[in-house]
Amino acid sequence: MTKQKVGLVLFWIAAIWTFLWGVLGSVFVGSAFRNLTMDEVNQTMWAFMGSWHLLWAFGVPLGALVAGIGILLYSSAKGSTVWKYGIGIALAVSIGMASGFLGHIPALFGIGGTLILLFFMGILWLWAKERMALKDSSTTAVDLKLVGYVFMLIAAWFICGIAGQPFMKALEG
């Protein structure tokens, strides 16, 4: 099987995996956590830190990692690019997983947020250069890509604020 075919297979398996855990898994997990006490949740298949809960919690990040690697292989990216992406995202997922066990580390969130902003600005710069080189018929896809990047940054910003509220004295009670 060629590198492109392997990449396409990886992408579709990961896309389906990510969708199932991200959407369907969240419906069931969300329902359990919304309607049951923690003791009751721990009596279900979604027991906190149980195997099904962990599959759900890390299903989307790991699926996104594999989908990204798959699409890089499919698009004939250099091997070094695939490795850099894979190692970088695996490191980010590992830090995210570790922060769940280590607790709230403000410096980690500050560094991560700064990196997200720097990457976002770099993406905007590269996006503009790509957009200027395109013909009219191919600009729609690039414009939608920009919308996706902006929505992701906005979502990250507000999620960070919501996740940080329990650690802010001024917002207590």
84-93 tens-digit pLDDT: 988 988 888 7
Q: Give the DSSP per-residue string, 90-122.
A: HHHHHHHHHHHHH---HHHHHHHHHHHHHHHHH
**pLDDT of res. 96:** 76
Alpha-carbon separation of residue 36 from 33, 40, 130, 134 (angstroms):
6, 6, 50, 53
Q: Mean per-residue pLDDT for 22-37?
A: 86
What percentage of residues in the chain have a pLDDT greater than 90?
34
Residues 6+ apart with CB under 8 A from 71: 7, 11
Answer yes or no: is pLDDT of 64 > 90: no
Answer yes or no: is pLDDT of 15 > 90: yes
Q: Mean per-residue pLDDT for 119-138?
A: 88
93 in Cβ contact with 140 (< 8 Å): no
Between CA 58 and CA 101 the distance in angstroms is: 14
Answer yes or no: is pLDDT of 173 > 70: no
